[in-house]
Amino acid sequence: MSSIRSNMLRSVLTMLIIAFGIMAIVGTLTAVEALKGSLNESFSSLGANTFNIRNRASTMGFGKSRNKTVVYRTITFSEARSFEQEYKYPSRISITTMCTGNAILKFEEEKTNPNIVVTGGNENYLANTGLKINLGRNFNPNELNSGADVCIIGSEIAEKLFTKSRLGPISNTISVADKKFRVVGVLLKAGGSMGFNPDRWCIIPLTTARTEFVSENSSFSLNVAVDDIQKIDDAVEEAKGVMRNIRHLRVEDENNFQISRSDVFAQTLDDQLVYLRIFAILVGVITLLGASIGLMNIMLVSVTERTHEIGIRKALGAKSDSILQQFLIEAIAICQFGGLFGIFLGVLAGNIISFIFKSQFTVPWGWVIGSYFICLMVGILAGYFPARKAAALDPIESLRYE
């Protein structure tokens, strides 16, 4: 420790280089794990036993291949209803349509930002998307059949519109895109990430959506929750056959619709994050390589400056192994201090990124422990040659060095 303090500037600079290398690894991987956990939590609310049928096929990726979307012919309401009637697999089916993604909701003098998603759904919509009612109730059959002007709003909307009012949201009338709707339910706070935030959703009956918002070119989506999760693959194949028949596709025709499972989407996302992990590791390794060269240089300079000290110790009976251990432990200590600081910075930086994306706090313990041992190896590899050089010095020549 006294040797490290005597060369404080060089030691601190080396520690910082090591710290930045470890921070690059731990920080990026912490952010990746936090985002992955948040997204998996979001998609797990849909259930592993669910799949969607829509007119858009999306592939996820990075670089030139990212976010490629194929748009097929719209799925009409009559086609969606035909699927609901003809699909006989034991399941629960919801039909939905997107009304708008930038609506403004108002109550008295209060109004939301123009980022509210208005969706039309049937009686199974809440159950199939994993949403729960906190206040009020779901739509009743009469409201669904008659196209009543009622709505269920997310918790963030309720807080924004009714916090300053003495009136609660239930049974009060709000403006949804300049149309009047009576609130019958408020969703339980769910949180969200990457654009998936039910707290900013406004759900209206499907019949109402068709009357007030939907045009002839609007497309409908189907969400199917299978009763037996073990038979999800068979259910998907059955749905594919029914949908192909409804859309009058021949045997040689490709599907003009997309069937996607929520668990497959999460797995695809995880596969794509592998590239980000590899990038973080490469950056960290390159930085640590530079740090190890810097550490070796510092130790060689230290051996040169302390040649006289080494000669005195050997003259007093110190063995070569003791000298080697002294300088090797010094190098390891510098690496460990830098590594611990880098781990702290990495976890902090990663969770700041996850906080920005409203993800959960996480610590990648596997990579933290791995980084500790990486620093240990860097210290041994970078410190061994200078330590060996110090141990091999001739005591008489060392004493005469100055």
Mean pLDDT along residues 164-169: 81
pTM of the model: 0.57
Is the model's pLDDT at 322 over the cut of 50?
yes
Mean pLDDT along residues 7-16: 82
Mean pLDDT along residues 323-344: 88
Strand partners, 196: 193
| β-bridge pairing 150-153 and 110-111 | unpaired
Query: How does pLDDT run across 12-33, given as a tens digit for each residue?
Result: 888 888 888 888 888 878 877 7
Mean pLDDT along residues 161-189: 89
Token pair for 90: 């034991």
Helix (H, G, I), strand (E, B) or coil at 384: helix
Rounded distance between C-alpha atoms, residue 103 and residue 87, angstroms: 34
Is the model's pLDDT at 60 over the cut of 70?
no
State the residue for tokens 């041994």: 380
Contacts 24+ apart (CB under 8 A), 297-301: 298/7, 298/10, 298/11, 298/14, 298/334, 299/327, 299/330, 299/331, 299/382, 299/383, 299/386, 299/387, 300/385, 300/386, 300/389, 301/10
Q: What is the helix (H) or strand (E) element at residue 375, kind and residue range?
A: helix 365-391
Cα distances from 402 to residues 3, 240, 304, 305, in angstroms, run 19, 86, 11, 10
Computed over every residue of the chain, the mean pLDDT equals 83
Mean pLDDT along residues 24-45: 71
Cβ atoms of 53 and 257 closer than 8 Å: yes
Is the model's pLDDT at 285 over the cut of 90?
no
Mean pLDDT along residues 382-395: 87
Contacts 24+ apart (CB under 8 A), 251-259: 256/55, 256/72, 256/73, 257/53, 257/54, 257/55, 257/72, 257/75, 258/52, 258/53, 258/54, 258/55, 258/56, 258/57, 258/58, 258/70, 258/72, 259/51, 259/52, 259/53
Token pair for 195: 């654009």
